[in-house]
Chains A and B, each alone.
Chain A
Amino acid sequence: MTVSTTAGVVAGSPLGLAAEPSPRDLSRDLGEPAWLTDDRMAALALAHELPVESNPLFTSYVDLRPVRFGELAAYQRAGEAATVSAAVPEGASALLEVRDDVVVARGLSPQAAGAGVIVDTFERVLRRDPALLRRLLEGGATLPADDRFAQATRAGFSLGVLVHVPDGVALEGPIVIRWAQGAPGRAHLTRTVVSLGRDAHAALLEEQVASAGDRDGAPQSLWAGTTEVVLEPGSTLDVAGQEDFGLNTVSLVTRHATVSESASLRWALAVVGGGFVKSRIDNVLEGRGGSVHQAEIAFAGGDQRFDLTSYTRHRGQDTTGDLLSKGVFQGSSRGFFKGLIDIERSAKGTDSFLGEFSMLLAKKARSVAIPSLEIDQPDVRRASHSSSVGPVDEGQIFYLMSRGIPRDVARKFIVLGFLEPVVARIPLPAAQDRLRDLLDRKWIPGPA
C-alpha cells in the first residue's frame, strides 16, 4: 500500500481501483460543504492505514483474491434519471431506486410525506436540511473505525441516501430501497444512513439486484455500500435485506447500528447472489435495555464466496443480542461465518446469543465458523454461542419419503425449511414470496 502525504493531505485511491476520483475532487464536484469534504479526507487517511482485516482473530480467513480491484473504475458522480418515478409499491411507505449510477425512482406515501419522513439523496438533503445530515455524519461514528472497506466507502462514495423518521412517527409500510448493479468494469460506492427519532417505528427493505449489465464472462462489477443505523431511545426498526446480485458482481457491505436506550433493531438478511460477498455487521448496544435480533441466511452455489462477519458490542446494561446465521452451500461454494460477541464491563445483565448453523450439500463445498466471545462482565443473563454443520438429516428425509415425497424433493423441502425463519421476517408479503421463489430457484437438484 502506498501512502503519500503532502502537507497533511493523503492522496490516492482508497480501494485501489484502476480509476477512482480523489475524495477531494469528488466532494468538490458534488458541491459538498467543507465539513463533509473533511469527513471524507479523515476516512481516507484511516483507510490507508488499515489492513484488509484489522482483527487478528480473522486474518487467516480473509481471501480477496477473487476480486479484481485493478480492473474496476468507480462512478464519478451518481445522477438523476431524466424522469424519476414517484410511484410507491403497494403497501410501502417509500421507494428509492438506483439503477447503476442513476436514481430512477423516489417517492413517499401520503402518510410518510405528511409525517416529515425523509428518503432522499445526500445531495438533495444538503440543500434542505444540512444540519440534520451533519449531525449524523460528522466524525464517522456511524461506521466501524477499524474497517478499511467501510472507511474507503466513507471517503469515496458517489451517492448517499438518507432515511429519516422523525420523533414519534410510526410508519405503516416498509421503506424500500433498491440497488441494481452490474455494469461491467464499474464500481459504485454508496452510503445509506437510517435515523429514527425517539419512539419512531419503521421497517426498511433493502433490495440488491442485478442490473442488465451483469453477464457471464464480462468484467466484474463492484458494489460497496453501507447501511448506517442510528436509533434514538424507544425507537424500533426492522431491516430486511435481500441480496441477489449477478455472479459477476462483487459486493462489500458494511452495516453498522447504534442502538440507544430501549430501542430495538431486527435484521433479516438473505445473501443469495453475487460472485463474492463480503459483509460486516456491527451492532453497538449503547443504551440500557436496547436489543438487536439478527437473522441471516446465506444460500450459495457454484463458485460463490460469502464472507460474513458480525460484531455485537454490549455496552449498556440489560441489553439483548440474539444472532442467528444459517448457511447452505452447494457446488464448490464457500462460506465464512465470523462472529464476535463483546460484553464490556459496563454491560451488566446482558443476554447474548450467537448461533451459526450450516448445511453442506456438496463434496467440494466448505464452511468455516468462528463464533467468538470476549467477556469482561460476568453478571450476564446469558452469554453463549452454538454452532453446527451437518448434512441433511436422514431421519427427516425418511419421514418425508414415507409420505410419498421423492428423495430430492424431500431434501429441498428440508433445506428451504431450514432457511424459512429468515424469510418469514421479511416485511412485505410480496417481497417474502419473491425471496422464497429466489431460494427455490437456487436449489440445485442432485444425488445424495
Chain B
Amino acid sequence: MTVLREQVSNDRSKFDFKDDIVYLAETRRGLSRETVEEISRYKHEPEWMLQFRLRAYDHFVKRPMPDWGGDLSRIDFDRIVYYRKPSEREEKSWDDVPEQIKATFEKLGIPEAERKFLAGVGAQYDSEVVYHSVREELSKLGVVFMGTDQALQEYPEIFRRYFGTVVPPEDNKFAALNSAVWSGGSFVYVPKGVEVPLPLQAYFRINGENTGQFERTLIVVDEGAKVHYIEGCTAPIYATDSLHAAVVEVIALPGSKVRYTTIQNWSNDVYNLVTKRAHAHEHATVEWIDANTGSQLTMKYPSIYLRGRGATADIISVAVAGKGQHQDTGAKAIHLAPDTRSRIVSKSVSKDGGRATYRGNVRVAPGATNAVTSVRCDALMLDDQSRSDTYPYIDIQEDDTTMTHEATVGKISQDQVFYLMSRGLTENEAQNLIVQGFLEVFTKELPMEYAIEFNRLVRLEMDGALG
C-alpha cells in the first residue's frame, strides 16, 4: 500500500499555470459557416471533410440544447474561439519543440513519463498536436500513432473509411459541434495481429482563455490486435467558462482488444461534454476505464455497441464531484449481437455541495440472444450538502438475457474511521484512505504512475473537504 500512503503536497497551484503563447493563427470568436470553411481551408482538407464539417454545422444550428443532465445555460457559443494553432508544423523530436511549450510540459511531467516507459507521446497544446514522437519499435510494428489532422493527410483511405462512422454528427448537439470545428486529437491504427506492448499516451491541456477544445480521436484496431490507449489531462484555472467538446471513436475489429483509459482533471470552470463510443465486432473486447475529477460540469457516457457475436464490453467509471461541480457521467452498453457480454461498474464521490450523477443505459436489442449484462453503481456522499443521483435505464428485448443491477448510496462508516484513527491516522488521513479504497476498483486498473497521480488528484480534491 505504498501508493496510498505516499505523502503528497496539497498545493493545487502546481496544476494552475498558463503561458503567454503567441498564437500564430486563430479564428475570430463565434461560430459561423465561414468559420467552419476557414478552418477546413486553413488545414488544406479534402472536399469531403469540408462537406462533413458543413453538414455537422447545419445540424448543430438546428439541434436544440439538451434539456436534461447539467446546467448548460451559461455556455456562450459566440464567445468561443473555435480554432487556434500554436506552431506551424508538427514536431517530430523533442529538441524541436518550442522552449516555452516544453516548459509547460515539464510541469505536467511528460519527459519523465517518456523516460519511464512511454510508447509514444501525442501532446495536445490547445488546438493542434505540436509534439509527437513515435518509438521506432512501434513504427516497425506498423502501428500508426499521430495527430488526427496529420492522419487525414497521410492515411486518407483508412481515415475516410472509419471517421464519423461510430459517432455521426447528428448524434447530439456537441458531437455536431465537434464535427464542424474539430482540430487535433489522436489517430491510432494497429494492424492485424499486432499487440502494442506498452500503453500509448496522449497528454493534452487547455490553454488560452475561452479557447474551446474540439479534439477528435479515432482508434482503429484491426483483427486480433491489442492496444491500450491512455489520456490524461490537467488544465489551468480561469475565471470564465471553457468548453471542451471532444469526440472519441473506437473501432475494435474482430478478435481485437482495446482499452481506453482516461484520467481527467479539468479546472473548475470547464464544461466537459464528450461523446465517447466504441464499436466492438465479433469476439472483440473494449474497455473504457474512465475517471472524472475537476470541471464544473461533465456530461460523458462512454458507450460500447456490441455489434459482433461474442463481443465483450467492460466499463469502469469513477467520478469525484466537489464544490460547484456536477459530474453527470455513466456508461452505455448496447447489445446488438448474440452471446455478447457487458459489465459496468460506477463509483462516485460527492462532497462540499457537489453533485454526482450516474446515468447509464443497457439495451439488449432483438436478435442479441444469450446476452449477459451487469451494472453496479456505488455512491459515497461525504456531507449532507452534496447530492447523489442514480439513473439507470435497462431495456431488454430478448427473453434469454441475464441482467443484474445493483446500486447503493451511503456515507463513510464512522466505525472504519475510528478503527483507522486508533491505528494512528488523523481523521483526514483515515477518510482519505477510505475514499481511495472505495475507488480502488478503478485505480488498480491503471499503470502505477497513473495510480499515483490519480490518488494525488483525489487527495487534492479531498483537501479541505474533511475535518
Contacts of A371 in B (CB 8 A): 390, 392, 405, 407
Contacts of A380 in B (CB 8 A): 409-411
Q: Are A373 and B404 in contact (CB under 8 A)?
A: no
Q: Could you tell me the distance in whole angstroms from the C-beta of A447 to the nearest C-beta in chain B?
A: 12
Q: Are B402 and A363 in contact (CB under 8 A)?
A: no
How far is it, in angstroms, between the C-alpha of A358 and the C-alpha of B405 when the chains are bound? 12
Q: Are B398 and A363 in contact (CB under 8 A)?
A: yes
Given contacts A57-B391, A391-B400, contact A375 B405 (CB under 8 A): no
How far is it, in angstroms, between the C-alpha of A390 and the C-alpha of B403 when the chains are bound? 6
Instruction: Determine whether B48 belongs to the interface, using a CB cutoff of 8 Å to chain A.
Output: no
Instruction: Determine whether B117 belongs to the interface, using a CB cutoff of 8 Å to chain A.
Output: no
Given contacts A373-B388, A387-B392, contact A378 B405 (CB under 8 A): no
How far is it, in angstroms, between the C-alpha of A374 and the C-alpha of B388 when the chains are bound? 6
Q: Are B397 and A366 in contact (CB under 8 A)?
A: yes
Q: Could you tell me the distance in whole angstroms from the C-beta of B106 to the nearest C-beta in chain A?
A: 41
Q: Are A372 and B391 in contact (CB under 8 A)?
A: yes
Q: Are B390 and A367 in contact (CB under 8 A)?
A: no
Contacts of A364 in B (CB 8 A): 366
How far is it, in angstroms, between the C-alpha of A378 and the C-alpha of B407 when the chains are bound? 14
How far is it, in angstroms, between the C-alpha of A368 and the C-alpha of B405 when the chains are bound? 13
Q: Could you tell me the distance in whole angstroms from the C-beta of B338 to the nearest C-beta in chain A?
A: 13
Q: Could you tell me the distance in whole angstroms from the C-beta of A362 to the nearest C-beta in chain B?
A: 6
Q: Are B392 and A375 in contact (CB under 8 A)?
A: no
How far is it, in angstroms, between the C-alpha of A387 and the C-alpha of B391 when the chains are bound? 13
How far is it, in angstroms, between the C-alpha of A388 and the C-alpha of B399 when the chains are bound? 12
Contacts of A401 in B (CB 8 A): none
Q: Could you tell me the distance in whole angstroms from the C-beta of B398 to the nearest C-beta in chain A?
A: 7
How far is it, in angstroms, between the C-alpha of A448 and the C-alpha of B391 when the chains are bound? 33
Q: Are B387 and A389 in contact (CB under 8 A)?
A: no
Selected contact of B387 from candidates A370, A374, A384, A386, CB within 8 Å? A374
Instruction: Determine whether B449 belongs to the interface, using a CB cutoff of 8 Å to chain A.
Output: no
Q: Are B394 and A370 in contact (CB under 8 A)?
A: yes
Contacts of B383 in A (CB 8 A): 378
Most A CB within 10 A of own CB, among B68, B366, B391? B391
Contacts of A361 in B (CB 8 A): 399
Interface string of B380-395 (1 = CB under 8 A from A): 1111101111111111
Q: Tell me the nearest residue of chain A to B69, going by C-beta.
A: A56
Contacts of A383 in B (CB 8 A): 408-410
Q: Chain B, interface size: which category?
A: 35 or more
Instruction: Determine whether A360 belongs to the interface, using a CB cutoff of 8 Å to chain B.
Output: yes
Q: Are A386 and B405 in contact (CB under 8 A)?
A: yes
Interface string of A37-76 (1 = CB under 8 A from B): 0000000000000000000110001000000000000000
Contacts of A385 in B (CB 8 A): 390, 405-407
Interface string of A388-401 (1 = CB under 8 A from B): 11110000000000
How far is it, in angstroms, between the C-alpha of A448 and the C-alpha of B399 when the chains are bound? 10
Q: Could you tell me the distance in whole angstroms from the C-beta of A58 to the nearest C-beta in chain B?
A: 10
Given contacts A57-B391, A378-B384, A379-B384, contact A388 B403 (CB under 8 A): yes
Q: Are A372 and B392 in contact (CB under 8 A)?
A: yes
Contacts of B27 in A (CB 8 A): none
Q: Could you tell me the distance in whole angstroms from the C-beta of B391 to the nearest C-beta in chain A?
A: 5
Q: Are B381 and A374 in contact (CB under 8 A)?
A: no
Instruction: Determine whether A434 belongs to the interface, using a CB cutoff of 8 Å to chain B.
Output: no
Q: Could you tell me the distance in whole angstroms from the C-beta of B388 to the nearest C-beta in chain A?
A: 5
How far is it, in angstroms, between the C-alpha of A367 and the C-alpha of B398 when the chains are bound? 9
User: Which residues A221-261 have CB closer than 8 A to chain B?
Assistant: none
How far is it, in angstroms, between the C-alpha of A49 and the C-alpha of B352 when the chains are bound? 36
Most A CB within 10 A of own CB, among B387, B392, B396, B403? B396
Interface string of A428-448 (1 = CB under 8 A from B): 000000000000000000001
Q: Are B399 and A365 in contact (CB under 8 A)?
A: yes
Q: Could you tell me the distance in whole angstroms from the C-beta of B410 to the nearest C-beta in chain A?
A: 6
Given contacts A56-B68, A386-B407, A388-B404, contact A372 B390 (CB under 8 A): yes
Interface string of B59-96 (1 = CB under 8 A from A): 00000000110000000000000000000000000000
Interface string of B144-175 (1 = CB under 8 A from A): 00000000000000000000000000000000
Q: Could you tell me the distance in whole angstroms from the C-beta of A308 to the nearest C-beta in chain B?
A: 14
Contacts of B390 in A (CB 8 A): 371-373, 385
Q: Could you tell me the distance in whole angstroms from the C-beta of A391 to the nearest C-beta in chain B?
A: 5
Contacts of B408 in A (CB 8 A): 382-384
Contacts of A448 in B (CB 8 A): 399
Q: Are A360 and B379 in contact (CB under 8 A)?
A: no
Instruction: Determine whether B35 belongs to the interface, using a CB cutoff of 8 Å to chain A.
Output: no
Q: Could you tell me the distance in whole angstroms from the C-beta of A315 to the nearest C-beta in chain B?
A: 14
Q: Could you tell me the distance in whole angstroms from the C-beta of A61 to the nearest C-beta in chain B?
A: 8
Instruction: Determine whether A369 belongs to the interface, using a CB cutoff of 8 Å to chain B.
Output: yes
Given contacts A56-B67, A379-B384, contact A390 B402 (CB under 8 A): yes
Instruction: Determine whether B401 belongs to the interface, using a CB cutoff of 8 Å to chain A.
Output: yes
Interface string of A91-110 (1 = CB under 8 A from B): 00000000000000000000
Instruction: Determine whether A345 belongs to the interface, using a CB cutoff of 8 Å to chain B.
Output: yes
Instruction: Determine whether A376 belongs to the interface, using a CB cutoff of 8 Å to chain B.
Output: yes
Q: Tell me the nearest residue of chain B to A390, going by C-beta.
A: B402
Contacts of B405 in A (CB 8 A): 369, 371, 385-388
Instruction: Determine whether A111 belongs to the interface, using a CB cutoff of 8 Å to chain B.
Output: no
How far is it, in angstroms, between the C-alpha of A361 and the C-alpha of B398 when the chains are bound? 9
How far is it, in angstroms, between the C-alpha of A382 and the C-alpha of B406 when the chains are bound? 13
Q: Are B409 and A373 in contact (CB under 8 A)?
A: yes
Q: Tell me the nearest residue of chain A to B397, going by C-beta.
A: A366
Q: Could you tell me the distance in whole angstroms from the C-beta of B172 to the nearest C-beta in chain A?
A: 14
Q: Could you tell me the distance in whole angstroms from the C-beta of B379 to the nearest C-beta in chain A?
A: 7
Q: Could you tell me the distance in whole angstroms from the C-beta of B421 to the nearest C-beta in chain A?
A: 20
Contacts of B411 in A (CB 8 A): 378-380
The 3 closest A-B pairs by CB, nearest first: A378-B381, A378-B411, A360-B399
Q: Can you spell out 29 A-B residue pairs with CB atoms less than 8 angstroms apart?
A: A56-B67, A57-B391, A61-B393, A365-B397, A365-B399, A366-B397, A367-B396, A370-B392, A370-B394, A372-B389, A372-B391, A372-B392, A375-B379, A375-B381, A376-B386, A376-B387, A378-B386, A378-B388, A378-B410, A382-B410, A383-B409, A386-B405, A386-B406, A387-B405, A388-B402, A388-B404, A388-B405, A391-B401, A391-B402
Q: 9 additional contacts, CB 8 Å, given A372-B392, A375-B409?
A: A363-B399, A366-B396, A368-B396, A373-B388, A373-B409, A378-B382, A380-B409, A384-B409, A388-B404
Q: Which chain B residues have a beta carbon within 8 Å of chain A's beta carbons?
A: 67-68, 366, 379-384, 386-411
